[in-house]
């Protein structure tokens, strides 16, 4: 376990103890409610694990490392950004997916490019955005978002 995970566990335990001391009834009610929420999210979590396993089964780690590795960071970053711009998947699925891709050898920069374009650029949602806000606005926003996503990804590569 890394230091951040240990810190989160310590903080959670301390805050739970403080909450229990303040009001056992409210604390147990909150725990019961969170248990119900977790139960309703269980199918989504299993789907995420299944999707990640499916991606890693059909795309061998060597391919991921070659395409998204550090051999040609700029090309792989642009390719990941294009895929992220076109893809429409929830961010809570994309985060663990990118984490798994990085674990098998992908560079962090293309991963960040994929995530940022996934959330900032909307190729699939462009027709709706065009209808609601106009072509000029939708096109300008998406082009600027794509550019800034690349800047963010490349900056992350420099920082990390």
Does a structural domain hold residue 100?
Answer: yes
Contacts of 81 (CB under 8 A, 6+ apart): 110, 113, 114, 116, 117, 121, 146, 149, 150, 153
Question: 65: which 2 tokens?
Answer: 């490392």
| Pair 142, 122: CB distance under 8 Å | yes
Does a structural domain hold residue 72?
Answer: yes
Q: How far is CA 22 from the centre of its chain?
A: 36
Distances (CA, A) of 128 to 69, 88, 120, 139: 35, 14, 15, 12
Structural domain boundaries, residue 5: 1-46
pLDDT value at residue 137:
95
Does a structural domain hold residue 54?
Answer: no
pLDDT value at residue 105:
85
Whether 63 has a pLDDT exceeding 90, the answer reads no
| Residue bearing the bigger pLDDT, 79 or 47 | 79
pLDDT value at residue 43:
83
| Pair 108, 73: CB distance under 8 Å | no
Residue 149 binned pLDDT confidence (cut-offs 50, 70, 90): very high
Residue 19 binned pLDDT confidence (cut-offs 50, 70, 90): very high
Of 21-30, 32-41, 90-99, 130-139, least confident by mean pLDDT is 90-99
Does a structural domain hold residue 144?
Answer: yes
Question: 92: which 2 tokens?
Answer: 């809570």
Please state the φ and ψ torsions of residue 62, each to the nearest 5 degrees: -65, -40
- Digit-coded pLDDT (tens) for 82-114: 988 988 787 877 888 888 888 888 889 999 999
Are 80 and 28 found together in one domain? no
Are 74 and 116 found together in one domain? yes
Number of domains the chain contains: 2
Question: How far apart, in whole angstroms, are the C-alpha atoms of residue 109 and residue 64?
Answer: 13
**Apex 120 CA angle, 86 and 147, nearest 5:** 90
pLDDT value at residue 70:
66
């Amino acid at each position: 376990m890394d230091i951040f995970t240990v810190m989160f566990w310590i903080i959670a335990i301390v805050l739970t103890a403080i909450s229990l001391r303040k009001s056992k009834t409210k604390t147990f009610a909150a725990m019961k409610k969170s248990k119900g929420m977790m139960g309703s999210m269980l199918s989504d979590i299993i789907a995420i694990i299944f999707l990640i396993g499916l991606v890693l089964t059909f795309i061998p780690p060597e391919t991921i490392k070659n395409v998204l590795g550090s051999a040609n960071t700029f090309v792989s970053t642009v390719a990941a950004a294009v895929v992220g711009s076109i893809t429409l998947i929830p961010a809570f699925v994309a985060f663990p997916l990118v984490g798994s891709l990085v674990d098998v050898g992908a560079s962090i920069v293309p991963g960040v490019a994929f995530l940022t374009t996934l959330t900032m650029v909307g190729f699939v949602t462009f027709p709706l955005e065009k209808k609601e806000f106009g072509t000029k606005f939708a096109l300008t926003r998406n082009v600027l978002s794509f550019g800034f996503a690349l800047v963010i990804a490349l900056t992350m590569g420099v920082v990390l």
